[in-house]
């Protein structure tokens, strides 16, 4: 039987299948089409625990060392911080983190808004548009390209390569894209060395902190990762959020009337329809028990943010969009279980009063949130503050500029969805403005 996780139906609506898996237990063994088995973690508590468990490694090079011939990805693509375990991981992450703190991202806000407004100008001139191709895709790629100093004429190629890396494309296409992107970033970094600019890459090249200094190869890996990790994911956050908004007139009206609710809406869209649905990859370095399952050393464990985010054991009415989740007490764990990976990421204990929003518009620790769309633990998404701000501005600009926006599809079933196993998002979103 074909693997249902590879089906077009799963790409369109992954939640029934994920719910069915979760109903059998929070950690389930699934057979892949290559005849192997893999564990899928669908329960929220188990997923959160797995994401922070040191017995689960992200070192793909180590995993594939015993399985030659799997991929010929460029090393810069396969050996990023995302595929490195502590303690090395911390060194790779620390320097880059400085560019993506909520405060650093807040300084980018005027430019992000200007890019969003320019894209909206072009849409508005036409009266109808594909919101994915003409807004949700170009916004994040333009922002990250400007941050890294990728010149305008090169951006289409960078966008294509990074997209090919995630597409359900032939292995050769994926391998070629990985080398093209890696070669491009090598050349860009060499050019930046000649003339340092005000961009993030120049900052990383110039960093003189001996302990954390990155080698040339590490710098190339980081540049590749920043482009790849922050592009398609943010596109899908905007795309999925707009689908939810277009399906709900009352929600659009409410957000237009009170833009202060937008940060809560971004969190809820992240939870309700996570851009990374099925998998964040890990493998077990030793045998251990998780959610009633016995995992053996060497086995692959896919932690599914999409499934965890709709776990009824954690979220009340998980299949509904509810903006007031951050005010209500969800089904919670004891307060001591809320250890923080990053201060602002930690959901608050249920009895803590709501705090005002931070300067970056991120709701304070009164937000239980608790979705796992940005992961959790040491690999918690580095670009989360940037993605949050981009999405908030995107929804605000679209709702304000186009109060009469409506879908231009006959039925929601007719909408095409990207066919990748990892992610969930519309391939296009036709609208009348």
Answer for which of 5, 49, 76, 82 binds ligand HEM (CB under 6 A) is 82
- Going by C-alpha positions, the residue among 228, 273, 360 that lies closest to residue 18 is 273
Residue 169 to residue 182: CA distance in whole angstroms: 18
The residue among 26 and 433 lying less far from ligand HEM, judged by its C-beta, is 26
DSSP label of 175 = H
201 binds ligand HEM (CB under 6 A): no
81 binds ligand HEM (CB under 6 A): yes
Candidate segments 122-130, 362-370, 373-381, 395-403, binder of ligand HEM by CB under 6 A: 373-381
Give the contact letters, 260-279, x = binds to ligand HEM (CB under 6 A), - = no.
---------------xx---
Residue 370 to residue 221: CA distance in whole angstroms: 30
The residue among 394 and 433 lying less far from ligand HEM, judged by its C-beta, is 394
Residue 208 to residue 203: CA distance in whole angstroms: 10
Q: How far is the CB of 83 from ligand HEM (least distance, A)?
A: 8
Structural element, H or E, at residue 406: strand 406-407
Q: Residue 11 in 3-state DSSP?
A: helix
Answer for which of 49, 120, 224, 386 binds ligand HEM (CB under 6 A) is 386
Answer for which of 280, 304, 309, 420 binds ligand HEM (CB under 6 A) is 280
Candidate segments 12-20, 154-162, 376-384, 403-411, binder of ligand HEM by CB under 6 A: 376-384
DSSP label of 276 = B
The three-state (H, E, C) secondary structure of 21-46, written as one string:
HHHCCCEEEEECCCCCEEEEECCHHH
The residue among 278 and 433 lying less far from ligand HEM, judged by its C-beta, is 278
The residue among 43 and 383 lying less far from ligand HEM, judged by its C-beta, is 383
40 binds ligand HEM (CB under 6 A): no
50 binds ligand HEM (CB under 6 A): no
Q: How far is the CB of 411 from ligand HEM (least distance, A)?
A: 27
373 binds ligand HEM (CB under 6 A): yes
Q: Are 243 and 424 in contact (CB under 8 A)?
A: no
Q: Are 372 and 390 in contact (CB under 8 A)?
A: no
Q: Strands of 175-321 (E only): list them.
A: 280-284, 288-290, 293-295, 300-303
Q: How far is the CB of 172 from ligand HEM (least distance, A)?
A: 25
The residue among 42 and 280 lying less far from ligand HEM, judged by its C-beta, is 280
Q: How far is the CB of 2 from ligand HEM (least distance, A)?
A: 26
Q: Which residue is nearest to ligand HEM (CB)?
A: 383
The residue with tokens 């403005």 is: 433
182 binds ligand HEM (CB under 6 A): no
Contacts of 241 by beta carbon, 8 Å cutoff, 6+ apart: 265, 266, 269, 273, 391, 394, 395
420 binds ligand HEM (CB under 6 A): no
Residue 266 to residue 392: CA distance in whole angstroms: 6
Q: How far is the CB of 265 from ligand HEM (least distance, A)?
A: 14
27 binds ligand HEM (CB under 6 A): no
Could you tell me the two tokens for 290? 């998780």
Q: How far is the CB of 112 from ligand HEM (least distance, A)?
A: 11
**31 alpha carbon, distance to own chain's centre:** 25
307 binds ligand HEM (CB under 6 A): no
Residue 98 to residue 150: CA distance in whole angstroms: 20
Residue 404 to residue 433: CA distance in whole angstroms: 6
Sign of the CA dihedral 301, 90, 346, 235? negative
Answer for which of 50, 261, 284, 387 binds ligand HEM (CB under 6 A) is 387
Residue 123 to residue 61: CA distance in whole angstroms: 44
Candidate segments 161-169, 355-363, 380-388, 425-433, binder of ligand HEM by CB under 6 A: 380-388
425 binds ligand HEM (CB under 6 A): no
Give the contact letters, 213-242, x = binds to ligand HEM (CB under 6 A), - = no.
------------xx--xx--xx--x-----
Residue 243 to residue 193: CA distance in whole angstroms: 43
- Going by C-alpha positions, the residue among 47, 5, 45, 41 that lies closest to residue 25 is 41
Backbone angles phi, psi at 278, to 5 degrees: -85, -50
- How many residues bind ligand HEM (CB under 6 A)? The answer is 26
Q: How far is the CB of 383 from ligand HEM (least distance, A)?
A: 2
The residues that touch ligand HEM, with contacts defined as CB under 6 A, are 51, 58, 81-82, 93, 144, 225-226, 229-230, 233-234, 237, 275-276, 280, 305, 373-375, 379, 381-383, 386-387
């Amino acid at each position: 039987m074909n693997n249902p996780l590879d089906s077009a139906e799963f790409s369109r609506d992954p939640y029934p299948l994920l719910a069915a898996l979760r109903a059998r237990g929070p950690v389930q063994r699934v057979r892949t089409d290559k005849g192997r088995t893999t564990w899928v973690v669908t329960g929220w508590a188990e997923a959160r625990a797995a994401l922070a468990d040191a017995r689960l490694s992200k070192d793909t090079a180590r995993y594939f060392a015993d399985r030659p011939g799997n991929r010929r990805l460029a090393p810069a693509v396969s050996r990023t911080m995302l595929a490195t375990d502590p303690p090395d991981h911390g060194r790779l992450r620390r320097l880059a983190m400085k560019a993506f703190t909520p405060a650093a991202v807040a300084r980018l806000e005027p430019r992000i808004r200007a890019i969003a407004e320019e894209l909206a100008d072009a849409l508005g001139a036409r009266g109808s548009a594909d919101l994915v191709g003409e807004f949700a895709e170009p916004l994040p790629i333009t922002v990250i390209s400007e941050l890294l100093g990728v010149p305008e004429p090169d951006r289409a190629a960078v966008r294509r390569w990074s997209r090919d890396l995630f597409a359900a494309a032939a292995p050769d296409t994926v391998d070629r894209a990985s080398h093209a992107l890696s070669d491009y970033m090598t050349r860009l970094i060499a050019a930046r060395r000649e003339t340092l600019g005000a961009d993030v890459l120049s900052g990383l090249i110039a960093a003189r902190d001996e302990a954390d200094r990155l080698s040339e190869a590490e710098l190339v890996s980081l540049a590749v990762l920043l482009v790849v990790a922050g592009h398609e994911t943010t596109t899908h956050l905007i795309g999925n959020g707009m689908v939810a908004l277009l399906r709900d007139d009352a929600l659009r009206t409410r957000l237009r009337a009170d833009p202060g609710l937008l940060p809560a809406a971004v969190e809820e869209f992240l939870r309700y329809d996570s851009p990374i649905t099925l998998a964040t990859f890990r493998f077990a370095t030793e045998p251990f028990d998780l959610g009633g399952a016995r995992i053996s050393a060497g086995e692959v464990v896919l932690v599914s943010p999409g499934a965890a985010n709709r776990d009824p054991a954690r979220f009340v009415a998980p299949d509904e969009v509810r903006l007031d989740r951050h005010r209500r007490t969800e089904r919670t764990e004891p307060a001591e279980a809320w250890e923080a990976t990053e201060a602002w990421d930690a959901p608050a204990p249920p009895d803590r009063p709501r705090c005002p929003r931070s300067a970056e518009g991120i709701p304070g620790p009164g937000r239980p949130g608790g979705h796992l769309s940005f992961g959790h633990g040491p690999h918690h998404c580095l670009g989360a503050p940037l993605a949050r701000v981009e999405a908030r501005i995107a929804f605000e600009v679209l709702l304000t500029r186009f109060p009469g926006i409506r879908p231009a599809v006959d039925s929601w079933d007719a909408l095409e969805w990207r066919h990748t196993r990892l992610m969930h998002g519309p391939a296009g979103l036709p609208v009348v403005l």
